[in-house]
Amino acid sequence: MARLKILTFPDPRLRRVASPVKEFDKSLIKITENMLETMYGENGIGLAATQVDIHKRIVVMDLSEEKNNPKIFINPEFKVLDDKSLFSCEEGCLSIPGVREEITRPDKIKAYWQDIDGKNYEDEPEGLLAVCFQHEIDHLEGKLLVDYISPLKRDRIRKKALKSVI
């Protein structure tokens, strides 16, 4: 296993749209193992492959207190069941260190994904799981939580991030 480097905003590679996983092979297992190690190492509750410069539709998560409940979502998708039911949550992102923003998202969603063997699942996640699921799918679409805030605020975060690189 290996820890992977996490891309940070405004790296243009975070804007790439990930491709569906078609082969459920050994290399997929290795990617998910490395992503889990990276997520745990950075104290994150979720990680999308895009964040480690792998542009495939792979997400890992662990929302448990004890960090002993790793979840793998291959080709995750969701549809909004009720666009009037919203949930606000202060979100952070490993690709935008130091930034936390209150984001409002649909609360009632139906989630679809495959497991590491390609088996299909669906569920109606709630609360933090529903938030995290949408946050990670945003990454696979090249979308970041700064896209939900004002352009002025986003520009400030971008300038600060560019300064701290040098």
Residues acting as catalytic residues: 136
Q: How far is CA 138 from CA 58, 66, 141, in A?
A: 12, 26, 5
Choose the binding region for ligand GNR from 63-71, 87-95, 117-125, 148-156 (rule: CB under 6 A). Answer: 87-95
Q: Which residues lie below 8 Å from residue 157, measured CB to CB, with a gap of 6+?
A: 9, 96, 99, 146
Asked if residue 93 binds ligand GNR (CB under 6 A), the reply is yes
Hey, what are 60's tokens?
Answer: 């890992």
Nearest distance from residue 144's CB to Ni ion, in Å? 7
Rule CB under 5 A: say whether 93 interacts with Ni ion: yes
CB of 112 to Ni ion, least distance (A): 20
Residue 73 β-bridge partners: 59
Binding site for ligand GNR (CB under 6 A): 44-48, 51, 89, 91-95, 131-132, 135-136, 139
